Structure 1
Amino acid sequence: MNAYTLVSVSRPRSRPTPERATPTRSAGTDSRSTRTDTRSSRAEAKERTRQALLDEALAMSSERSFASLSLREVAKAAGVVPTAFYRHFASMDDLGVTLVEDSMRVLRRMLRDARRGADGAPPSAADALDILIRQVRENDVEFGFLVREQYSGSPEVRRAIDVELRLFAKELTHDLARVPALRTWAAEDLDMAADLFVTVMLRFVAELVRIDPRNAREEAELVDRTKRQVLVITMGLGGYRAREL
């Protein structure tokens, strides 16, 4: 735990030399400045502790299931007492949900950036896959956590993953709706197409996190196979006609 000590400095009895003289501030200004600095330092320390708890839980969950981790051991690994844990998270499930949200938020932001970079046009399937590859490789621990916890995690964590995947699919639905050939499609058909893409991407991520990054050949084969799967789905969309009810 970080301790914060307010140190008061007594005014020197001798008059300062011109070289060291500083502008005079009122006591009220010094007091406000000190309070602001203290609040800022505390906020930074709190954020560091919160991130340490997330990082330690994530690292430990790569060796064993997240559900088997205890609050006490995560707090100890982060260098805080168990009671300090509750200043940041209500429970271990709350921490797990935060890990899920943080991991998926980064991916969705990168896809949005890709759209803005292309004058607002949806990224191609190949471009989206390249973004996904880069994200998985740069955040392999986080995505490994998502893959493992999607089916074997606690109900709260699994629910959070499901919510994030639905948000991801919904953004993809909006992208598909802007494709000229699909503008007349009903919302439920666009949702179905988005789900197909998400299913392929999830399988791709699950396999990619298991491949050693140094195994370029195996990764290239996976990427090629996935791109062909995406192409098959894309070609199928061109010939699909919504069934009349």
Structure 2
Amino acid sequence: MVDTVNTVTEPVSRQERKQRTRQSLLDAAWELLAVRSFDALSLREVAKRAGIVPTAFYRHFSSMEELGVTLVEQSMRTLRGMIREARTRPTQPSEMIRASVHTLYEHVRAHEDHFRFLTRERYGGNEQVARAIAVELKLFSSELAIDLVRLENLREWNSDDLHMMADLIVTAMLATVLDLLEARTRDKDTDQAIKTVAEKRLRLIFLGVPHWRSS
């Protein structure tokens, strides 16, 4: 005789169902954005891809613009956290550079759709989406400026100069993102060459630190 075990499935709450549907809309948008710009998306096709009726879209987002801003926040939030972790472990600039470039590389290769969206929409298309990207990049730069104070040669720098250096670093990292996305060949040698150039860019920025007089 075989004993049977009755398994009880916990009911899914209304809030959980709502969250799942919201994420389905975001996932549907990511799939569609792989082949077109955000402005080319329609609410109806995003809802259809997510498996809901168009009117149900408004239970989760007030507009396509709000959906776009959420996509930006979703893309950048994880990156900021990963880069922050990479920066807080090392105490020397060379170690921080190496760790940050490696983390950026891993994240870009794992989420290329997110970064294509960010680089494509940064200067074109929907105004609210472009503004959200600018805000997220500024937050990214501000967090970096705070972290830079931990480095010995930067402790006496004023806030304006720290933010200026942080902006230079973010610009260099964005150049690396483009290099990775636009690479014609995808192999270890090509990726290693891109990472090497990325580290050189950042080292070049840090070389100027001892000679700069912050005032």
- Common fold, TM-score beyond 0.5? yes
Match of 1:91 among 63, 67, 73: 63
Q: Which runs of 5+ in 1 are unaligned?
A: 1-36
Distance (Å, rounded) in 1 between the aligned partners of 2:13 and 2:185: 39
> Secondary structure of 1:209's match?
helix
Mapping for residues 164-183 of structure 1, pairs under 5 Å: 164-183=136-155
Amino acid in the other structure paired with 2:107: Q
Structure 1 residue 109: Cα displacement: 1.3
TM-score (norm 1): 0.78
- Structure 2 residue 56 is matched with structure 1 residue 60: no
Match of 1:196 among 168, 193, 202: 168
Over the matched positions of the two proteins, sequence identity in percent amounts to 47
Report the residue type matching 1:199 in the other structure: T
User: Aligned with 1:199: secondary structure?
Assistant: helix
**CA displacement at 1:115 relative to structure 2:** 4.8
* C-alpha spacing 1:92/1:115, structure 2 compared with 1 (3 Å): same
Structure 1 residue 226, shift from structure 2 partner: 1.4
Contact 2:153 2:209 in 1 (8 A): no
Aligned-residue offset at 1:92: 0.8
Q: TM-score, normalised by structure 2?
A: 0.88
Query: In structure 1, how many angstroms separate the alpha carbons of the residues matched to 2:172 and 2:42?
Result: 34
* Aligned pairs (5 A) from 1:1-245: 40-115=12-87, 118=89, 124-211=96-183, 214-242=186-214
Are the equivalent residues in 2 in contact too, given 1:115–1:121 (CA < 8 A)? no
Gap runs ≥5 in structure 2: 1-9
- The more displaced of 185-194 and 131-140 is 131-140
CA apart distance, 1:217:
2.3
What's the CA shift string for 1:3-34, capped at 9, x where partnerless?
xxxxxxxxxxxxxxxxxxxxxxxxxxxxxxxx
Aligned partner of 2:163: which letter?
Answer: D
Q: CA deviation at 1:111?
A: 2.6
Whole-angstrom CA distance in 2 between matches of 1:115 and 1:161:
22
Q: CA RMSD in A?
A: 2.2
Bigger-Rg structure (1/2): 1
Given that 1:204 and 1:222 are in contact with CA atoms closer than 8 Å, whether structure 2 keeps it comes out as yes
